[in-house]
């Protein structure tokens, strides 16, 4: 918190509903499964209300079987019946439906059932806000969060006012980060403080970081001294580091106690912290010693000691480790939680899988949206001015690069005037190079994001892509040259365009590897700017090779 001004990213919000709808629409099934696995069943039900019947069936097949009954329970009766009717007999879940389920016959093929999202939209249109309040009182907080994220920004703010004050904290916890920030900023301070008291420490830290500094300080001042010190410690770490991800609800014990004593200690808790699969072992100075898995505790003899069962080789996470590195380790080792230590080895807290899933999603969205010059949190319902302003920047950059390519073409004006066929064939050379380069660029950016590409294997990838560029260049050079000869009846033009395509595909392959690596070394995000630079390179090289060869041979 360094400023009282709202974050510029407030202009745009990309919700989990948007991401899931996009993944289903594009048939990204693996991505759909990953996102659905991280969502509450009530929120999944909200997504289903925004999909077409065909998309619902696709999404249903990606849901974990254990979550199916819960998702069905949150669906409105007629929508639930419609979904079950649309599913094949073999894939229809054989479970007991809730008592209010409508018979499948009630929803005909062209009779889309009334959904809770539709109810909210209708109530907003008719200004019957009490109807929304009554509906929200019946719904799970995650379900409400899903409905709010499915609404345009203006309607979202109106519907948010209909959430009861004693439930706002629980709804905030399930909202996507940017939506949570914007709605919290519109609340009265007293209501916001009351809602904050119901949040878990790590969720409260996220909320405070999203608010203006003055508002965050006021919330902190309402907490007890112990709670305030705990949160201030968590807020002192960068948001994109292990310290920014961790929470302090870990359970730590000494190595010299017996399992029976540990079990009696655990029974003092009303409930264990979420995602507790490990108990951390420390010494008298709280120095990290190792981990004790909960499953070992449950099966061990009461007289066994913690020291006999603990694992001392489990590597803790340094508090200053980048969040991307933490996410990669969780993904690689299938971790549920991991301890966080400072530079002296003191146990500070733990990181859990629910926070890491958010990091993985943000990284994937950053790469995908960055290639189009968009922010990964762009909201499809963002104001026209905000969206157009953000996109205009990249359109302007692209215009500059287009003029560079046009300047190259202008150098060969005399050649184009004499051989009109060159103007007809010229776009083919640039297009082939751009597509080939984009394929390589996407592969390299993904490798950098997942940690698969480093200094040790860069040369291997470069040689591989050069080989691919050579083979594809030879193949398509022959094909395009033959078509050009048949079209214009000129062997020289066919040979020129064939050689130009070969050269451009080779250049595209090498540029697709070199550009993101160079940008990363210069501290520039390759996902955000790599596509623009690559297009410029392939256009210029393609035009120069094609028109340059034509000038030498034909003129």
pLDDT of amino acid 91: 53
Tell whether 234 and 249 lie within a shared domain: no
Question: Closest by alpha carbon to 58, among 29, 94, 96, 80?
Answer: 29
10 domain residue, yes or no: no
Measure Cα distances from 245 to 56, 321, 348 in Å. Answer: 33, 10, 12
pLDDT band at 451 (very low <50, low <70, confident <90, very high): low
228 three-state secondary structure:
helix
What's the pLDDT score for residue 278? 93
Shared domain check, 437 and 389:
yes
Which CATH number fits the domain that encloses residue 158? 1.25.60.10
Q: Is residue 529 part of a domain?
A: yes
User: Are residues 259 and 227 located together in one domain of the fold?
Assistant: no
Q: Is 94 among the domain residues? A: no
Res 156: pLDDT? 87
Residue with the bigger pLDDT between 193 and 163: it is 163
Q: Which of 291, 292, 283 is nearest to 346 (CA)?
A: 283
Number of domains in the chain: 3
Are residues 149 and 160 in contact, defined by beta-carbon separation less than 8 angstroms?
A: no
- The answer to whether residue 6 scores a pLDDT higher than 90 is no
- Could you give the C-alpha distances from 232 to 51, 216, 220, 338, 384, in angstroms and in order? 42, 11, 8, 21, 38
Model confidence at 61, in pLDDT bands (50, 70, 90)?
confident
Of 486, 483, 480, 485, which is closest to residue 498 (Cα–Cα)?
A: 480
Is the per-residue pLDDT at 295 higher than 60?
yes
Question: Is it the case that residue 449 has pLDDT exceeding 80?
Answer: no
Q: How far apart are CA 75 and CA 97, in angstroms?
A: 11
**What pLDDT band is residue 228 in, cutting at 50, 70 and 90?**
confident
Q: What is the pLDDT of residue 394?
A: 59
Residues 72/80, Cβ–Cβ less than 8 Å: yes
- 146 and 81 co-located in one domain: yes
3-state DSSP of 401-454? HHHHHHHHHHCCHHHHHHCHHHHHHHHHHHHHHHHHHHHHHHHHHHHHHHCCCC
- Contacts (Cβ under 8 Å, ≥6 apart) of 548: 412
Token pair 């999203």 is at which residue? 210
Q: Is residue 360 part of a domain?
A: no
In 10 A of CB 361, how many CB atoms? 19
337-355 b/e (C-beta count within 10 Å ≥ 16 → b) = bbbbbeeeeebbbbbbbeb
Task: Kindly tell me the sign of the dihedral angle through the C-alpha atoms of 372, 377, 380, 386.
Answer: negative
| Cα of 434 vs its chain's centroid, Å | 26
Residues 251 and 231 in one domain: no
Q: Give 348-403 pLDDT, tens digit per residue.
A: 989 988 878 777 766 655 555 554 444 444 444 555 665 566 556 656 776 777 78
Task: Tell me how far apart the alpha carbons of residues 119 and 122 are, in angstroms, rounded to a whole number.
Answer: 5
The order of strands in the sheet holding 252-253 is: 252-253, 278-282, 288-293
Assigned domain for 54 exists: yes
Q: What is the token pair recorded at 208?
A: 């405070």
465 and 400 both lie in a single domain: yes
Greater confidence (253 vs 328) lies with 253
CB-count burial class (<10 Å; 0-12, 13-18, 19+) for 331: middle
Q: Which run of H or E residues covers position 115?
A: none
Cα torsion 160, 165, 166, 168 to 10°: value is 30
Read off the pLDDT band of 474 (50, 70, 90).
very high
Give SS3 for 256. coil
Residues 138 and 195 in one domain: yes
Evaluate if residue 1 carries a pLDDT over 50.
no
Confidence category of residue 5, pLDDT binned at 50, 70, 90: very low
Are 408 and 504 within one domain?
A: yes
Q: Can you say how many angstroms the Cα of residue 173 is from the centroid of all Cα atoms in its chain?
A: 18
- Which range scores top for mean pLDDT: 168-177, 231-240, 305-314? 305-314
Place of tokens 């066919």: 494
Residue 165: count of CB within 10 angstroms of its CB: 12
* pLDDT tens per residue across span 111-152: 444 578 888 888 888 877 878 888 898 888 888 888 888 888
Lowest-pLDDT range of 386-390, 480-484, 525-529? 386-390
Arithmetic mean of pLDDT, 153-167: 84
DSSP 346: B
Q: Are residues 222 and 253 in the same domain?
A: no
pLDDT for the residue numbered 209: 75
Q: pLDDT band at 101, cuts 50/70/90?
A: very low
Question: Is 258 in the same domain as 231?
Answer: no
Tokens of 415: 């050649």
On the CB side of 448, CA atoms within 13 Å amount to: 24
What is the reported pLDDT for 379?
A: 47
Q: What is the mean pLDDT of the chain?
A: 79
Give CA–CA dist 199/480, Å, rounded: 63
What's 284's DSSP letter? T
Residue 206 placed within a domain = yes
Report the pLDDT value the prediction gives residue 339, as an integer from 0 to 100.
94
Residues 343 and 413 in one domain: no
- The distance of Cα 321 from the centroid of its chain, to the nearest Å, equals 20
CATH number at residue 514: 1.10.357.20
Inform me whether the pLDDT recorded for 548 exceeds 80: yes
Q: What is the pLDDT of residue 386?
A: 59
Percentage above 70 pLDDT, the chain: 83
Choose the final residue of a domain: 241, 273, 304.
241
CA distance 446 to 440: 10
Query: Could you tell me the pLDDT band of residue 314, with boundaries at 50, 70 and 90?
Result: very high
97 falls within a domain = no
Q: Range of 330's domain?
A: 244-354
- Nearest Cα to 363, choosing from 407, 330, 401, 400? 330
Domain boundary pick from 213, 241, 269: 241
Least confident of 247-256, 259-268, 446-455, 481-490: 446-455
pLDDT at residue number 346: 92
**308 domain-assigned:** yes
What does the alpha-carbon distance between residue 9 and residue 7 come to, in Å, rounded to a whole number?
5
Do residue 322 and residue 393 come from a single domain? no
Q: Which residue has the higher pLDDT, 356 or 453?
A: 356
User: In sequence order, which ranges of 116-221 are alpha helices (DSSP H)?
Assistant: 116-125, 129-138, 141-149, 153-160, 168-174, 177-185, 189-196, 201-210, 213-221
Query: Residues, the chain, total?
Result: 555
Task: Please identify, among 217, 241, 265, the residue that sits at the C-terminal boundary of a domain.
Answer: 241
Say what the pTM is. 0.49
């Amino acid at each position: 918190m360094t400023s009282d001004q709202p974050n510029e990213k407030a202009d745009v919000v990309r919700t989990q509903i948007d991401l899931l709808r996009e993944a289903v629409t594009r048939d990204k099934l693996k991505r759909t499964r990953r996102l659905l696995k991280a969502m509450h069943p009530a929120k999944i039900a909200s997504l289903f209300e925004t999909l077409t019947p065909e998309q619902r069936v696709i999404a249903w097949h990606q849901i974990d079987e254990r979550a199916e009954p819960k998702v069905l329970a949150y669906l409105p009766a007629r929508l639930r019946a419609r979904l079950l009717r649309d599913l094949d007999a073999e894939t229809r879940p054989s479970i007991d439906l809730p008592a209010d389920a409508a018979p499948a016959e009630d929803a005909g093929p062209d009779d889309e059932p009334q959904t809770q999202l539709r109810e909210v939209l209708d109530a907003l249109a008719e200004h019957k806000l009490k109807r929304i309040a009554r509906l929200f009182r019946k719904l799970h907080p995650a379900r409400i969060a899903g409905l709010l994220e499915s609404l345009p920004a203006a309607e979202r703010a109106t519907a948010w006012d209909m959430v009861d004050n004693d439930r706002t904290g629980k709804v905030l916890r399930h909202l996507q980060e940017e939506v949570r920030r914007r709605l919290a900023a519109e609340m009265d301070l007293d209501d916001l403080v009351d809602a904050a008291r119901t949040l878990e420490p790590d969720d409260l830290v996220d909320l405070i970081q999203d608010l203006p500094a003055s508002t965050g300080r006021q919330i902190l001042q309402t907490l007890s001294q112990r709670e305030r010190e705990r949160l201030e410690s968590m807020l002192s770490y960068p948001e994109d580091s292990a310290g920014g991800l961790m929470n302090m609800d870990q359970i730590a014990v000494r190595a010299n106690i017996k399992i029976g004593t540990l079990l009696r200690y655990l029974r003092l808790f009303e409930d264990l912290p979420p995602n507790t699969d490990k108990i951390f072992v420390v010494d008298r100075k709280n120095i990290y010693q190792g981990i004790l898995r909960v499953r070992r505790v449950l099966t061990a003899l009461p007289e066994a000691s913690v020291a006999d069962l603990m694992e001392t080789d489990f590597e803790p996470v340094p508090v200053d480790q980048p969040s991307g590195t933490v996410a990669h380790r969780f993904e690689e080792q299938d971790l549920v939680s991991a301890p966080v230590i400072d530079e002296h080895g003191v146990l500070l807290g733990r990181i859990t899988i629910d926070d890491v899933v958010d990091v993985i999603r943000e990284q994937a969205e950053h790469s995908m949206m960055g290639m189009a010059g968009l922010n990964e949190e762009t909201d499809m319902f963002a104001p026209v001015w905000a969206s157009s302003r953000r996109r205009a920047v990249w359109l302007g950059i692209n215009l500059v690069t287009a003029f560079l390519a046009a300047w190259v073409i202008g150098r060969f004006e005399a050649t184009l005037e004499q051989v009109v066929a060159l103007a007809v064939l010229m776009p083919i050379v640039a297009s082939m190079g751009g597509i080939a380069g984009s394929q390589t660029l996407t592969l390299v950016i993904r490798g950098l994001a997942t940690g698969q590409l480093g200094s040790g294997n860069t040369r291997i990838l470069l040689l591989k892509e050069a080989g691919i560029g050579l083979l594809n260049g030879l193949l398509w050079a022959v094909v395009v040259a033959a078509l050009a000869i048949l079209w214009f009846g000129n062997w020289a033009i066919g040979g020129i365009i064939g050689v130009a395509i070969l050269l451009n595909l080779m250049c595209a392959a090498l540029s697709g590897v070199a550009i993101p690596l160079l940008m990363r070394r210069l501290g520039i995000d390759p996902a955000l700017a790599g596509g623009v630079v690559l297009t410029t390179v392939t256009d210029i090289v393609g035009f120069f090779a094609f028109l340059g060869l034509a000038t030498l041979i034909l003129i």
